[in-house]
Structure 1
Amino acid sequence: MDYQTLSLAEKLIVAEPRVISIQNLMGRNSGRYKFIEANILLKVHELDKASFIANRIAGSISERIKNVDRVLIHYEPIKKENLIYALPLEDDLQQQISDHFGEAPYFGLTTVCLNDNKAIGQEILANPFTQVEHGKGILVAEFLIRHSVDVVVTKESFAGKGPFYVFSSAAVKNVLTREDTAEKALAHLGVRYV
């Protein structure tokens, strides 16, 4: 198969936020029909989510590349050792949870070891989209996905809103809390601090 077609297939695969790497990508022509096969590593740990993502990638390739007869995506979910929790924050010191996801000035990211549920790292990120007038929630959701977030803890539900669709397509969970601080919310979820 020509380089240009394989290159487009590669771009379509890596456009999926949960793809960690392409381990192998092959293509062949049979007359005017094309067959594409890829082995990918996904940032999910549930097989049903991995299957859903692989089917979405295959559909995207079939849609964008002409005369594709069959796309075969072999996938392997990663074995996760840590989860990254994100919380919208009003400030970077007291870590008060913001009532408004898209307008939160900061986001606290806490890395938690799955073996013992201990917090092993924390990072505070400034929200780069606070001055944007429309679509802040979606932009923030995409920003957090680029930071490999697994769980977003908020006071408000995303049901029917833009961030819900962005997070669900990337297999990111949204957990609601009534707690006021990041530490209390995470402790309520069973996270232990060293």
Structure 2
Amino acid sequence: MLEQAKNQKLKERWAFGSLLLNLTLSILKFVFALITGSLALMAEAIHSFSDLIASIISLISVKLAAKKTKEFPYGLYKVENIAAILIAIFLFFAAYEIIREAFFSEAERSIKHTELAIGVMFFAMVATFVYSRLEIKAAKRLNSPALLADAHHIWADFLSSVIVIVGLIGTYFGYNLDKYAAVIVALFIFHSGWDIFMRGLKVLLDVSLDKEEIEEIKKIIYKHPAVVDIKHIRGRVAGSFKFLDIELLLHNYGLRETHRIVDELEREIRETIPNIDSVFIHYEPVRQEGLRIAFLTCKNKKIKDFSTAKNIVVVDVSKNLDIHEGQPIPVEPDEKEIGNIITKIGVDIVVSRHHPMNFDVRWNLARAGVMVWETEKDDYKEALKEIINSWKKFNK
């Protein structure tokens, strides 16, 4: 949660910085457009003003995206994607304005102080280039679509600044080169806008996570020995955050052990995949072929009985004699409590010093089909070898 709050503050700072940059450029270009009489500079002032509006939308969306209410319990994360679509529309408008200014403007560019106009546009070009590059890195690091869209918009402003500078230099030397550059840049701007628009639209329609992320999640899950199979993985993106719905088939462990396994899987997924908001894991128990053996032990795993055991150690032995040992299940040294747990965790054999003294416990174990294996061994691993050897002989 602390990391999420820190990222949220960083997003807001970058969005606010973008707003200040566009406000400064809008005022600067407008003032010098009036001084120099440059129509191109005035067009750029209008373009920067559209950037300012986009930055305001971005800042508001980043702030709203972190809010959770009773009406919106999953958060307003998608506000970021709505903002990204709106910014993409501004990019389309910017591309149109550049083409219109380059080819369809009938006004003649009569500039009084070309050097001043070039100086202002050079400052705008450097400022937008530096800020857009830094904001793109921050957007990728923070996984924010709104910041990424805003950075692309500022990059479009940089490109249009280059066009205006080329046009101003051409005017200064008596050449007109900005028309041809305008077409190329406008196409790049349109492409960026289309990419942002489609990514935002896909998220609003609950597009799945990237295939690479899904495969990474599968690797995390399948490497756990308790997992038999994955029934499905569904993931969606909302703003910067991801939601996962996973259904697994697990070996039939006890309730505590299964919860521990699921918690462990969730922790590993969160550590590997960035910006996970929630992971919902539904699991179904699957009875594997082989033996499930419960050992009644003390805390140092020495064999005890139903009235003295402090732990239950569950061991699964596959038909290929692969052995999987679960985490010890802590219990109170009470025959009835231990008997109840043993009947609920689906074991074939319970290994103890001797049978339980309580008749009800013995009867319930028999009804559950659980064999009580008495042993004189102290070490549960020695008792395990004894059972496996007997099982091999039985199978032969």
When the two structures are superposed, what TM-score results if normalisation uses the length of structure 1? 0.48
Q: Which has the higher contact order (CA 8 A, sep 6+)?
A: 1
Bigger strand fraction: 1
Bigger helix fraction: 2
Q: Between Structure 1 and Structure 2, whose CA radius of gyration is higher?
A: 2
When the two structures are superposed, what TM-score results if normalisation uses the length of structure 2? 0.25
